Amino acid sequence: MKTRLDGQVAIVTGAARGIGLGIAKLLAERGARVVVWDRDLAPLKAASGFAPALAQVVDVSSYASVERAFNDAVAKLGQVDILINNAGINGPIKPTWEYPLEDWDRVIAIDMTAVFYASRLAAKHMRDKRYGRIVTVASIAGKEGVPNISAYSAAKAGVIGFSKALAKEVCDAGVTVNCIAPAMTETPLLDGMTEEHIRNMKA
């Protein structure tokens, strides 16, 4: 029997395309009122047959942007029951000794710090109402490490550890925290990757 989510409000970050859009659609099919967060909503508008309860332009690397969007979702929909931290970028494919400093900061900001930002707000809200579900999309790169994407690997390892810590902090309040670590998935994030790098990720 498929779990129904009727009446629950679910925020999905990075949900205008790819894995995030697939998650958002599935949650909506199960009855959830879905809030889509993305820096660019154009791909969402082109996805026929899906209309979220709320679509917000959000820069997940900015705490002010995340806080504003979260509070707006609560004001308009009454609550947040589910948070799916999905937004992420790969960053450049370069060995560590050539990795640009500004790209390291950007990958860590979007792939790890953003998870903390959204989860910080959601955890307090969910603890107060004694119910909530937080799920973060990490990567097998966070468990194994993939050469030439050290920032991405580090960020995904970071959110795995963060999820374990947060789960222990909120387990007494009816809130669960989980992290999934999929292997390579065919999404727009693969665009621009070399065949050699794709082989490394599959190895």
**From CA 50, how far away is CA 26, in angstroms rounded?**
10
**From CA 151, how far away is CA 148, in angstroms rounded?**
9
**From CA 142, how far away is CA 173, in angstroms rounded?**
28
Helix (H) or strand (E) holding 67: helix 63-77
- 152 catalytic, yes or no? yes
Catalytic residue (choose from 63, 99, 117, 152): 152
Work out the number of other CB atoms within 10 angstroms of the CB of residue 6: 8
**For the sheet containing 132-137, what is the strand order?**
54-57, 33-38, 9-13, 82-85, 132-137, 175-180
Angstrom distances, CA of residue 30 to CA of 23, 37, 55, 161: 11, 19, 18, 29
Give catalytic residues, as residue numbers: 152
